[in-house]
Chain A
Amino acid sequence: MEKNYSLPADHDLFPEGAQRCSLLKFMIWMGLVGVVAAWGLYAAYKVLSTGLGVTGLDDYFGFGLWITFDLAVIALGAGAFFTGLLRYILNIDPLKNIINLTVIVGFICYSGAMLILVLDVGQPIRAWFGYWHANVHSMLTEVIFCITCYLIVLIIEYVPLILEQKQLNRNPLLHHIAHNLHVMMPLFAGIGAFLSTFHQGSLGGMYGVLFARPYVFREGFFVWPWTFFLFVISAVGSGPVFTVLIATIMEKMTGKKLVSWEIKSLMGKIAGSMLFVYLIFKFMDTYGWINTILPNAGLTFEQNFYGNIYGQWLLWTELGLCGVLPCIILLVPSLRNNPALFYSAALLDCIGVTINRYVFTVQALAMPVMPFDSWETYAPNWAEWGSSALVVAYGAIVLSLSYRYLPVFPQEKKLNATKA
């Protein structure tokens, strides 16, 4: 067969009928990402070799950027389990056009969170103690169980997509494995939904059970504080639009249409509906917190805020600008179908959930509980930023490779053919 030298050198590996940029361009992009990753690897090396003393964490802020980053990416990665639930269990068929991306984003978010935890935990070699010496009363044990199991589920969901790579799929064994895994996918989607619901919840529960920290303490239902449910709903209220934002960024970078507007709009509508439910409960929770938890602890609402860094503006931004506003835009069809408004709402929604995770992690620790103690402030240093950037770079590498070589977007061929 005659070679076509106008095609990229690795074009044989591309998904069927897909066009990709030249290998050189791709390598330059990967090189740029690699520089960020190298900086992050250096930070990670310093943390592991010297100890957590090289970070900006201290005895008041045992949790900082890393835990905020973890909670945020896990919430935003919720698009994977929730879309899986809707697609495979509730049979909302159009979601098949974005499900692959949600799985990859979910995989990146969860495996990235694990990478961060390896650094954040003082004795990473003892991480398996979470299983061996499990304290069943600890919300963190539930997190360890569900997060590790769910990552395995995400790998199982990701594997068939890898095996569907054009060249790999020619191998009959790999082809059949991929096929059979697809057949079993509703089962894994169900397990994933169960596990993910519980650990999203237990991440919230982790804070809600801290009865000696009035800023985060919440009453609840059975063993679960209200934050358990709030974290689940806020995750499903933002995860779907985060996936849409990722898809859109990929579209801008590649210059191709990857997901149709109808699907994006549907994801927005799903997120908006869940955000609406979340906001109802969040406002009720905030009201209950102000009128019950705080007075019982002898505190006023104002005492929970400090200066600009931990000011009330964070709460109002989270609830209003990044809560009510995106919810309205995502729920009203005429607003939702305006792309500029839609993407702004999606972004605000994701920022809102990130602020929520940040204040629960950092502001809760900054606030003095002993009356003679003082507010402390926390700023992450280069080691924390660097290793967080490593995870972002890692995500970019996985997504770039997946996009280039795997059939991630079922609509890609059709959407771009129409355009041409």
Chain B
Amino acid sequence: MQVKEFKVKWGMAIDIDKCTGCGACMVACQAENNLSPIEDASNKIKVMNWLVVYELSNKKPFPEHDVAYLPRPCQQCGTPPCVSVCPVIATDKNEEGGIVSQIYPRCIGCRYCMAACPYHARYFNWLDPVWPEGMEKALTPDVSVRPRGVVEKCTFCHHRFMQAKDKAIVEGRDPEALADGDYVTSCTEACPNGAIVFGDLNNPDHQVYHLARSKYASRLLERLHADTQVYYISRREWVRRQLDNYLDNEKVKG
């Protein structure tokens, strides 16, 4: 399958060894992207979270026991399994920057994209979004709220991309060549440890360019050839081994 290439490719490098699993990225994402709280959040696979922190374990007893935390935003695949399957082109990958879009007023809510995505990065609005009284005043004005019956997902805070481009235009800079840090996602900003680094994967002036090329960097489920734009870094081999499926006789990358 052909990977769609872009001049600018927004991506992330997430250092798993720096992540403490505090969940600040999840909270920042929820607030920034107008995710409504739900009344009964006891069923964790029916709760809206564009970004989820997974706990990984080496499954060894003490004292070898070790855990790691893996924040999972939308991986913004180069060959997105979700895009080709959508019957109504409500999701696409055709904008400079390589962010997989989601067009809420177009989505018919068939959830085929959710079945296609192995990362579980897509979420369905099972009920009407309701904000506790007063909380609606704190909604991000640049992010549209979604009705029930449509699918949504992490957009790499696309509205921040638009704002960064607007700012560059106003300041007389090239909006297609944003500097490192001009545009970052809310989870990147919220991470207290700097575990998430965001930028242009094609631009050597951006930190993420170098991090993604680290020998400890690999992507989730690489052998499925989705060619994702999120890189995970870990110096621990057991962690890297859990980033993809390996047969017993296969060696882990890095």
Interface positions, chain A 117-136, Cβ under 8 Å from B, are 120-124, 126-127, 129-130, 132-135
A59 engages B122 (CB within 8 Å): yes
B244 within 8 Å of A (CB atoms): yes
Contact A298 B244 (CB under 8 A): yes
Known contacts A298-B246, A300-B247, A129 near B108 by CB under 8 Å = yes
Complex formed: what's the CA distance from A100 to B136 in Å?
58
Interchain CB contact under 8 A, B126 and A52? yes
Contacts of B85 in A (CB 8 A): 138-140, 206, 209-210
Residue of A nearest to B128 (CB): A51
Bound form: Cα–Cα A63–B113 in Å: 11
| Cross-chain contact B114 with A133 (CB below 8 angstroms) | no
What are the residues of chain A within 8 A of B246 when measuring CB–CB? 298
> Which of A50, A135, A369, A370 contacts B87, CB < 8 Å?
A135
Q: Which of B56, B106, B127, B250 contacts A133 (CB 8 A)?
A: B106
B162 within 8 A of A: no
B6 surroundings in chain A (CB, below 8 A)? none
Flag whether A213 is at the interface (Cβ < 8 A): yes
Does A16 touch B at the CB level, under 8 Å? Answer: no
**Chain B hits for A370, CB < 8 A:** 54, 118-120, 220-221
Are B149 and A122 neighbours in the complex by a CB distance under 8 Å?
yes
Q: Which residues of A contact B220 (CB under 8 A)?
A: 370
* Interface of B: prevailing SS: loop
> Does B120 lie within 8 Å of A373, measured CB to CB?
yes
Q: Scoring B residues 235 to 248 as 1 if CB is less than 8 Å from chain A, else 0, what string do you get?
A: 00000011111110
Residues of A within 8 A of B125 (CB): 51, 122
Contact with A along B198-239 (1 / 0, CB 8 A): 000000000000000000000011011110000000000000
- Shortest CB distance B24–A (Å): 21
- Flag if B126 contacts A372 (CB, 8 Å): no
Contacts of B123 in A (CB 8 A): 59
Say yes or no: B109 contacts A121, CB within 8 Å.
Answer: yes
**Are A212 and B109 also in contact (CB < 8 A) when A133-B88, A373-B120 are?**
no
Q: Which residues of A contact B7 (CB under 8 A)?
A: none
Contact indicator B112/A51 (Cβ below 8 Å): no
State which residues 75-134 of B face A: CB under 8 Å. 81, 84-90, 106-112, 114-120, 122-128
Give chain A nearest CB distance to B216 CB in angstroms.
17
Query: In the docked arrangement, what's the CA distance between A136 and B88, Å?
Result: 9
Which one of B107, B115, B123, B226 has the highest number of Cβ atoms from chain A below 10 Å of its Cβ?
B115
Q: How many residues of chain B are within 8 Å of chain A by beta carbon?
A: 58
Q: Which residues of A contact B243 (CB under 8 A)?
A: 371
A108 close to B (CB within 8 Å): no
Asked if residues B118 and A58 are in contact (CB atoms below 8 Å), the reply is: no
Whether the Cβ atoms of A134 and B88 lie closer than 8 Å is: yes
Is there a chain B Cβ closer than 8 Å to A255's Cβ?
no
Residues of A within 8 A of B116 (CB): 210, 212-213
- Central interface residue in A58, A123, A140, A369, by most chain B CB within 10 Å: A123
The verdict on A316 contacting chain B, using a C-beta distance below 8 Å, is no
- A300–B148 Cα distance when bound, in Å, is 39
Residue B45 is within 8 A (CB to CB) of chain A in the complex: yes
- Among the listed A51, A132, A133, A299, which residue makes an inter-chain contact with B148, where contact means beta carbons less than 8 Å apart? A51
Contact of A59 among B84, B114, B223 (CB under 8 A): B114
CB-defined interface of A129-173 with B at 8 Å, one 1/0 digit per residue?
A: 110111101111101100000000000000000000000000000
> For residue B225, which residue of chain A has the nearest CB?
A211
C-alpha spacing A371/B242, complex, angstroms:
6
B150 within 8 A of A: yes
A232 at the interface (CB under 8 A from B): no
Partner of B114 from A52, A62, A138 at Cβ < 8 Å: A62
| A85 vs B189: C-alpha distance when bound (angstroms) | 63
Inter-chain contact B115/A365, CB cutoff 8 Å: yes
- Residues on B with beta carbons closer than 8 Å to the beta carbon of A365: 115
Give the distance in Å from the alpha carbon of A365 to the alpha carbon of B124 in the complex. 15
B161 → chain A, closest Cβ, in Å?
Answer: 24
Q: Let me know if A371 and B244 touch, CB within 8 A.
A: yes
Within the assembled complex, what's the spacing in Å between the Cα atoms of A52 and B111? 12
Q: Please, could you name 15 A-B residue pairs with CB atoms under 8 Å apart, sorted by A? A: A59-B46, A62-B112, A121-B108, A122-B151, A133-B90, A135-B87, A138-B86, A140-B85, A143-B87, A211-B224, A211-B226, A213-B115, A297-B224, A369-B221, A372-B242
Question: What 6 A-B pairs are tightest by C-beta distance, nearest first?
Answer: A122-B109, A122-B149, A62-B111, A298-B245, A53-B126, A369-B118
Told that A59-B45, A140-B86, A297-B224 touch, could you supply 17 new A-B pairs with CB distance under 8 A?
Answer: A51-B148, A52-B127, A59-B114, A63-B111, A123-B108, A129-B87, A129-B88, A129-B90, A129-B106, A134-B87, A140-B87, A206-B112, A297-B223, A297-B245, A298-B247, A298-B250, A369-B119
Binding site for A on B (CB under 8 A): 1, 43, 45-47, 54-57, 70, 81, 84-90, 106-112, 114-120, 122-128, 147-151, 220-221, 223-226, 241-247, 250
